Structure 1
Amino acid sequence: MWIAPKLDWVSSDFYNFEDLNRVENNTEVVADFVRYFIAIPPLNIVTNRDMQYVEFADSLNRIEGNQNLLRQRVTPVGWLPNKLDWKANDAFSYIDAQRLERNLNLLYLHYRGNVEAVPICGAHIVGEEVI
């Protein structure tokens, strides 16, 4: 289930494990939509972080790699290029948080609208009238 993204990150905000869990949850939701249109490999998704378990550089490379994979069919207008070379001790800012959430939101809006437009096989959507 889609979790509303935080799209208004500012420099005074703190990024924590719940934010990474939300981004990964939403990545899986978008991946399910993308699978309506193309086959994609299974994504490695982690949503069980807590205060005692937060990996960072490895997670960010995986998360941004997943997003990069999900945009291969279509890159929405406004997409911000993924950073795919995170290393230990790289600075993470609110701009990075905005990119992660915004890119997912762009994909979600695109695919949600398209999935809703795909007719369900066997459904009759014509002007049938009862006589």
Structure 2
Amino acid sequence: MAWITPKLDWTDNDWINYADWNRIENNILELKNYLVSIQYNVPTPVSTNTTRTVLSIDFLSSINRIENNLDAIRLAFLSPSDYLPKETWIVGKGFDYSDANRLEKNTKSLLDWGMLVFQSYRYCGTFNCGQGWGLG
């Protein structure tokens, strides 16, 4: 799948559903694939699930897997200044709109930084106007 525009404006009136989880995991996988394509050695997430349906049930282990996958990518790449730390989910800890915003914004921030890194690459063997020297 391709990158899916993340929802970055979660409010306390929103409820996360199966399609949102699928988008979040899809985008983490797309982020990893993009970073690998620009020569970063990032870990392959242990597993992703982008096939949830209205009948799917996620458990704390799924949310922790998502958190761990995203954080492993960050550790292998870089930590943007606006990146918020991962959470560890246990029984009784509530997931709310701020957590959904954090996951989606962290993923987008890492992709944005990846694109900035790629744009800053200087290609070996290229010449720039005004270098002041030539082949000789």
- Please give the TM-score of this superposition, normalised by the length of structure 2: 0.81
Alignment partner, residue 29 of structure 1: 30
Distance 1:89 1:81 in 2: 20
Distance 2:27 2:82 in 1: 18
Alignment partner, residue 104 of structure 2: 101
> Does structure 1 conserve the Cα–Cα contact (< 8 Å) formed by 2:4 and 2:27?
yes
Alignment partner, residue 133 of structure 2: none
**Alignment pair present for 1:82 and 2:66:** no
Considering only CA atoms, is the larger Rg found in Structure 1 or Structure 2? 2
Distance 1:62 1:119 in 2: 36
Distance 2:102 2:90 in 1: 18
Distance 1:110 1:75 in 2: 9
Give how far 1:113 is off: 2.7
Amino acid at match of 1:81: P
Q: Any gaps of 5 or more consecutive residues in structure 1?
A: none
Q: Using the TM superposition, name which of 107-116 and 58-67 deviates more.
A: 107-116
Distance 1:18 1:115 in 2: 30
Distance 1:56 1:34 in 2: 28
> Does structure 2 conserve the Cα–Cα contact (< 8 Å) formed by 1:33 and 1:115?
no
**Alignment pair present for 1:45 and 2:48:** yes
> Does structure 2 conserve the Cα–Cα contact (< 8 Å) formed by 1:3 and 1:25?
yes
Alignment partner, residue 70 of structure 1: 73
Give how far 1:120 is off: 7.1
Distance 1:13 1:55 in 2: 18
Q: Any gaps of 5 or more consecutive residues in structure 2?
A: 129-136
Give how far 1:12 is off: 0.4
Within 5 A, what are the aligned runs for 1:5-20?
Answer: 5-20=6-21
Q: Using the TM superposition, name which of 86-95 and 100-109 deviates more.
A: 86-95
Alignment partner, residue 59 of structure 2: 56
Provide Cα deviations, 1:31-52, integer angstroms capped at 9, x if missing partner: 0122233323321111000111
